[in-house]
A and B are shown apart, each in its own frame.
Chain A
């Protein structure tokens, strides 16, 4: 496969730097900046889809281009919308004395110190320093997770208890809660390996749990197929609307 790599790179360079500029001089007005970007996008889409047939160098090349572009834009946006706004601009305003100095602002200068600690992962001698910051972030994440789970699950418990306590036992809401409760117990039972399952009842309960999980996984799988197809159709819409209608038809044959 590697022997084709150079050929593919040359081909892409040819398309981008020779074919597209040539098309820009098309009699009907040719390719503008939008058209150039759109055709390049189409090349990327088709190249990515080529993976469906076989792993290939063209796909690999485009994959790296895409990751590079996303990383570049991301870096710019992090600077432009976050660091610049929250740190650089405020620093300049403080230096210029445009507003009373906020002493808490200077805490941001601690951030690089914490940031540098991450890089001690690469040091054999001082790797312990990186564990401080990793531990700190794990602690923060664990704290937020506990708080989040409490907030979520208390709401769930309240919602489950309300219809049962309300006494309307034949309402659909109540029945669905009872079904859910039974299925949760069955699924938990399926994964309960502390004692040996003996007898037909225990077997049936475990089978019930397995069926409940299969129904759940089936729903997830169905939705996954639906989601993946949506993403594929979105690319089709791009190829039909943007590439064929707007650029090829609109810019070359209008």
Chain B
């Protein structure tokens, strides 16, 4: 007997339908959930995990003459996760009066990263009355195309002589050697900590695999997108990385520790995202039950 499409359609059970919900329906429901829960705040408790606490302690322990190098290796494509991470770390450094240098690896987002720091510095100045001076408290080393297969070669050169690598010029074309914050900084070993906020793991692998064995006294850490984070966890467990901030969730945990949860983008995302996760979990359960039930009926 020939089965026509109409006949097949007619034989479709409820459980078959549950497995083949039109993706556009799912998108619309997701859209509604995100819109509603961005407007309606349902209090959720974010408990900082050991990773966020480790980073917090490491930054707090930075000595007065220590400098933290923050590599902003992210672009607009992954800013949903990397922006909250970057902003939270920068905010912590500015708030705690820890000196830091930033460098970028994405041509498009470099100006955005600089803007984030300037906005937060201005806010802290307004609130505390403490003057944050560019060149003394922080410096932007600028952009270099640090991506792809040659990232290891670039990082090795950076680690050997930061000033030469950046042509002795900062983002604003100032002489790097005349910036007070760079007075004692020439190579990777002169930094207290090197922390990379990145979309992927190429850079972090280079710090861990090539630079760290040569300069082991410096701390190394990373904040990455959730997709690649599972691959990097073993390096935290082994102590090769001091901490790993995992996606928006890691950022939200860190924001809570530094008292940035009222303004942080991580917390802003957490509410809507939690409900979206519940929805996706529901779809997974429904799909699996549908699969089980339809198989049993056949």
A interface with B by C-beta (< 8 Å)? 52-53, 70, 73-74, 76-78, 81-82, 85-86, 89-90, 137, 140-141, 144-145, 147-152, 154-156, 158-160, 176, 216, 219-220, 223-227, 229-237, 240
Q: Which of B46-83 contact A (CB under 8 A)?
A: 77-81, 83
Q: B80's closest neighbor in chain A, by CB?
A: A234
Q: A158's closest neighbor in chain B, by CB?
A: B238
Whether A227 lies near B227 (C-beta < 8 A) is yes
Whether B240 lies near A230 (C-beta < 8 A) is no
Q: B239's closest neighbor in chain A, by CB?
A: A159
Contact of B238 among A53, A155, A229, A236 (CB under 8 A): A155
Per the bound structure, the CA–CA distance linking A220 and B231 in Å amounts to: 9
B98 within 8 A of A: no
Q: Which of B128-157 contact A (CB under 8 A)?
A: 142-145, 149-150, 152-153, 156
Per the bound structure, the CA–CA distance linking A140 and B153 in Å amounts to: 9
Whether A149 lies near B273 (C-beta < 8 A) is no
Whether A234 lies near B213 (C-beta < 8 A) is no
Contact of A220 among B110, B169, B213, B227 (CB under 8 A): B227
B113 within 8 A of A: no
Q: Which of B200-236 contact A (CB under 8 A)?
A: 205-206, 208-210, 212-213, 225-227, 229-230, 234-235
Mostly, the A contact residues are helix
Per the bound structure, the CA–CA distance linking A77 and B276 in Å amounts to: 38
Per the bound structure, the CA–CA distance linking A137 and B149 in Å amounts to: 9
Whether A226 lies near B226 (C-beta < 8 A) is yes
B259 within 8 A of A: no
User: What are 15 of the A-B contact pairs (CB < 8 Å)?
Assistant: A52-B24, A74-B108, A85-B166, A137-B149, A144-B152, A151-B208, A151-B213, A152-B208, A156-B240, A176-B237, A226-B226, A229-B277, A230-B81, A231-B79, A236-B34
B131 to chain A, nearest CB (A): 28
Which residues on A sit within 8 Å (CB–CB) of B213? 151, 154-155
Known contacts: A86-B167, A223-B226, A223-B230. The answer to whether A148 contacts B81 by CB under 8 A is no
Contact of A148 among B108, B152, B240, B280 (CB under 8 A): B152
Knowing that A155-B238, A226-B249 touch, tell me 7 more A-B residue pairs with CB under 8 angstroms. Answer: A140-B153, A151-B212, A155-B240, A156-B235, A230-B248, A233-B273, A234-B83
Per the bound structure, the CA–CA distance linking A226 and B156 in Å amounts to: 33
